[in-house]
Amino acid sequence: MSDLLPFDLVVTLIVALPLLSAVINGTNLLFGDRMDYHTVQRVTCSALLLSFLGSVYVFMQVLADPTPREVIVYRWLFSGDLNVNVAFLIDSLSGIMMLVVTGFSFLIAVFSINYMHKDYSFTRYFSAFGLFVFAMLILVMGNSYVMLFFGWEAVGVCSYLMIGHYYHRVSAAKAGTLAFVMNRVGDAGFLMGIFLIATNFKTVTYSEVFAKLDTIDEATATAIGLSLLLGAIGKSAQLPLGTWLAKAMEGPTPSSALIHAATMVTAGVYMIVRSNELYNMAPNALLVVALVGGMTALYGAMVGATLSDIKGILAASTTTQLGLMFLACGLGAYAVAMFHLVAHAFLKSYLFLTAPSILHHMHTKPDITKRETTRDQIPFIYWALLVGSLLLVAVPFLGGWWKSTHGGGAMPISWYVLMGAGLISAFAILYYSARLTRKVFIDEAHGHASHDDHGHGKAHHAPTVMDLMFWPVTILVMVGGAGYVLGLLPGGVEGTWFQKLLAPVVASQEFPVGGHPVLTYLLMALLAVMVFSSWFTALYLERFKPELPGWVLIKKRWLYNLSLGRFWLEDIYEVLVVKPCKALGHQLDRLDTGIIDRAVGAPAPAGKIRTAVSTWEDQYLGLEAVGAKQSLVESASPAHTQEEEDLHEDHVRASEPTGAVGHAIKVSAATTGWVEEKIISREQGVVGWLTRVASADAAWVEEKIVRQEAGVAGWLTKVAAADAAWLERKLVGEATGVMGKAMMSAADLAGGVEKHFIGAGGSSKADQSLGIHGGMVELNKIIAAMTASVEKAVFDEGVHKGAPILSGIFGSAMFQVEELLAKPAVTGAILVLSVVAAVMGVLS
């Protein structure tokens, strides 16, 4: 045992060091942030480096002797026969994860030094960073489900802190809250799983649980598997809880790289791989895992295909890749999933770390359709990004996705289907990664008509330090590439080194996936559509019309809007989950609304940013480049510069209606605006007519707002106001400026595309579109009338005849109840009545 002692110590230190760095930095922060930033960064980076070296040592030990071993630190929690230790399980799986976590966190911490050094909350960032690494290590090294949960929750908090790092932006703070609450929903499932485990096995330690697996039946295993899966869905941003990931891009880019790409979001995959023996007992749960993964991959691919902001695309790509990992798990190919996880960590952190440099170059233009730089200006970054994108594409293929060479025997049809889903997703990754690259660097000509107001023609050079920082990352990618070439390939498939390494933890598994035939064919049909769409889009777009995003999808306007709006999942949750939770009474309580709105101003606009299109960070970087940073930081004062005014306008533009009705209105408004855009310079009559309609609407809406209607009306009026304002702005002719800095809303895109048609697309296109004016005007009238009547119907009926939504009733009722109960007489009466009732009840 004596030779094990240093091992135990090392393992404990690996976990303790990041915590120590967080504590030191946190204490420093607590006592007024007295250390200079050199010390802060040295503390963090050295702790992480030591931790990484320790992980390497531990990994070597694991290589030498793959037997799982446990390191018990102390007893943490116990109740009756249930015992939870603070203890670590070291085997090949956790060894790999430790390497990933400590290695990437060290690199990204080093990167952050340069990225964050102008940030006024440098110390806060690094405290959270150290804390995150600690939590993540607990997550991957813990020897029981409760330890896993500990890490699980703690990384959630760190994620909250990081997303909300720029907390004085309400949208960042809100995005953080959304992520936390969404994760909480998943965690409820996870907790349920833990209780099922605790009650069935009387233990929560992995080794003991897996040893006792034969004591439960398949149904119980399925229940446990599904409960755990819910937690994994939340953490790994799978459907249907995945919407928080896109908003999480509000955080500083290095933290996005670490938390929302390389490590934290893969925790769900880790958990499923860790519990693989449990899942193997429950084929149905595995099927659900596969389906969730497949659907998420498709969803991420479609959303990614329509987005055009760099971090948004990366987030969508992460969603897709995570979906693929889930799919692999669901197919029983755990080792493949693990390999994919590691490779994805390499590639995604690489892509993320190049993003800020690009943003530096493209300052304030996070929308890639608006880029105008050329390849010649930034050759190194161009190649770096290209290589990264290619590797990203290659992973699913190289990572053993093509299993055709492997395994005999007939596979169930759903296996092919799921494989197909993976394939198409991979294709979509190819498509939009390539697009990202070429959009950013190659497209020279298009889209700059709209943003000449900034008057910059050349990309700014990123700071040299930042350029330098690419080398470690590039080396990483090279190492990853070398891994492919050396016998690691194709990772995780049976017989390879990687699979053998994981063998003690992960039993290999034939493809157990079955499924309902109807479901299968449905999925197949969907996939066929997607194949065609993606191919055609890519071919057409990349070859002929690079300025048009999603040509095929945009033909199907509904589909395009759907993808662009991330299938409105967020809005649905906003209505179904977040709103009822958050605001049972919020919107009905006039007092509350009155006070808060007056106090905090109108909190809505910036908080409703749909995509990460133009995160504050991007603008911050941009302004930093033009020296206006300080004024942004202190933007409590009214805007003085043009830059800031644009910014404010952007925030207003980011105000998005929520909910299905809101979207119905918005989409019709978008269509209206799209038509209007074309007519605007030509048909004064229509403009006049529309102006009348819009201003009438606006006045009507304003009246509602002034009167502060509660309930659904109050909420809808905001939507309507946004729409009306939008229309008005279009009509009055501010459209040129607005379009240039447009947020990526459906309305904008529709308008933007049309603009291209007319402006850049050539005369034939323009003629064509002019040719349909007559029809469009009619359509426009109809839609406008419909919009108005829908609004009137909803508001008039809803407000005046009193049909508020359910949560409204509940919330206001509760508030009334409380008002009533708070009367002393009522309380007294209740007391007397209950005493009487109790006595009568007992005596009778």
List binders of another protein among 150-209 (CB under 8 A): 150-154, 157, 164, 167-168, 170, 173-174, 177, 180-181, 184-185, 188, 191-192, 195, 198-199
Nearest distance in Å: CB 819, another protein: 10
Residues numbered 109-138 forming contacts with another protein, rule: CB under 8 A: 121, 124
Residue closer to another protein (CB basis): 403 or 590: 590
d(CA 300, CA 769): 32
602, burial (CB in 10 Å: exposed 0-12, middle 13-18, buried 19+):
middle
Q: Does 827 bind another protein (CB under 8 A)?
A: yes
Q: Choose which of 3, 80, 409, 544 interacts with another protein (CB under 8 A).
A: 80
Which of these, 156, 155, 174, lies nearest to 166 by C-alpha position? Answer: 174
> What's the one-letter identity of residue 584?
L
Residue 583 as a binder of another protein (CB under 8 A): the answer is yes
When the beta carbons of 174 and 311 are compared against another protein, the nearer one is: 174
Which residue of 5, 64, 600, 806 would you call a contact of another protein, by CB under 8 A?
A: 600
Give me the long-range contacts of 728-737 (CB less than 8 A, separation at least 24).
728/691, 728/694, 728/695, 728/698, 730/673, 730/676, 730/677, 730/680, 731/676, 731/680, 731/687, 731/690, 731/691, 731/694, 732/691, 733/680, 735/677, 735/680, 736/450, 737/453, 737/646, 737/649
Looking at 304-312, 360-368, 595-603, 734-742, which segment touches another protein (CB under 8 A)?
A: 595-603
Complex with another protein: residue 140 or 291, whichever CB lies closer: 140
Smaller CB distance to another protein: residue 78 or 380?
Answer: 78
378 exposed, middle or buried (CB, 10 Å; 0-12, 13-18, 19+)? buried
Pairwise CA distance, residues 246 & 521, whole Å:
30
User: Dihedral, CA atoms, 696, 697, 699, 705, nearest 10 degrees?
Assistant: 170
**How many Cβ atoms from other residues are within 10 Å of residue 78's Cβ?**
10
149 binds another protein (CB under 8 A): yes
Residue given tokens 């009533």 in the structure block: 820
DSSP secondary structure letter of residue 67: S
Q: Is 486 in the site for another protein (CB under 8 A)?
A: no
At 649, is the secondary structure helix, strand, or coil? helix
- What does the per-residue mask of binding to another protein show for 523-552, with x meaning CB under 8 A? ------------------------------
* Contacts of another protein in 87-106 (CB under 8 A): none
Q: Which residues contact 809 (CB under 8 A, 6 or more apart)?
A: none
The interface with another protein within residues 310-349 (CB under 8 A) comprises none
Identify which of 321, 252, 360 has the alpha carbon closest to the alpha carbon of residue 621.
360
37 belongs to the binding site for another protein (CB under 8 A): no
| Least distance in angstroms from the C-beta of 117 to another protein | 19
Footprint of another protein on residues 630-649 (CB under 8 A)? Answer: 636
CB of 162 to another protein, least distance (A): 14
* Residue 581 or 732 having the CB closest to another protein: 581
Query: Which of 91, 571, 589, 656 touches another protein (CB under 8 A)?
Result: 589
Residue among 31 and 544 whose Cβ is closer to another protein? 31
Kindly state whether residue 16 participates in binding another protein, applying the rule CB under 8 A.
no
CA gap 397, 249 in Å, rounded: 27
Residue 2 CA to its chain's centroid (Å): 47
CA distance 231 to 185: 8
Show the tokens assigned to 622. Answer: 């941009």
Among the listed ranges 72-80, 254-262, 354-362, 550-558, the one in contact with another protein (CB under 8 A) is: 72-80
Residues 379-398 contacting another protein, CB under 8 A: none
* 410 vs 636 by CB, closer to another protein: 636
Shortest spacing between CB 225 and another protein, in angstroms = 17
Residue 230 interacting with another protein (CB under 8 A): no
**Residue 185 CB, nearest distance to another protein (Å)?**
7
Query: Which member of 66, 481, 504, 603 binds another protein (CB under 8 A)?
Result: 603
Stretch that binds another protein, among 71-79, 257-265, 564-572, 719-727 (CB under 8 A): 71-79
Closest approach of another protein to the CB of residue 170, in Å: 5
Q: Which is nearer to another protein, 31 or 558 (CB)?
A: 31
Of the listed pieces 505-513, 561-569, 678-686, 815-823, which binds another protein according to CB under 8 A?
815-823
Contact 226, 233 (CB under 8 A): no
Q: How many residues bind another protein (CB under 8 A)?
A: 75
Q: How far is Cα 388 from Cα 481, in angstroms, rounded to an integer?
A: 11
Rounded to whole angstroms, the Cα distance separating 406 from 402 reads: 8
Stretch in the footprint of another protein (CB under 8 A) among 492-500, 729-737, 743-751, 835-843: 835-843
Q: Establish if 806 lies at the interface with another protein (CB under 8 A).
A: no
Sign of the CA dihedral running 741, 746, 747, 749: positive
Closer to another protein by CB, 124 or 704: give it: 124
Tell me: does residue 576 bind another protein (CB under 8 A). no
Q: Which DSSP string do the residues of 108-135 spell out, in sequence order?
A: HHHHHHHHHTT-TTHHHHHHHHHHHHHH
Structure tokens at 744: 């990526």
Q: Which of 375, 448, 545, 586 binds another protein (CB under 8 A)?
A: 586
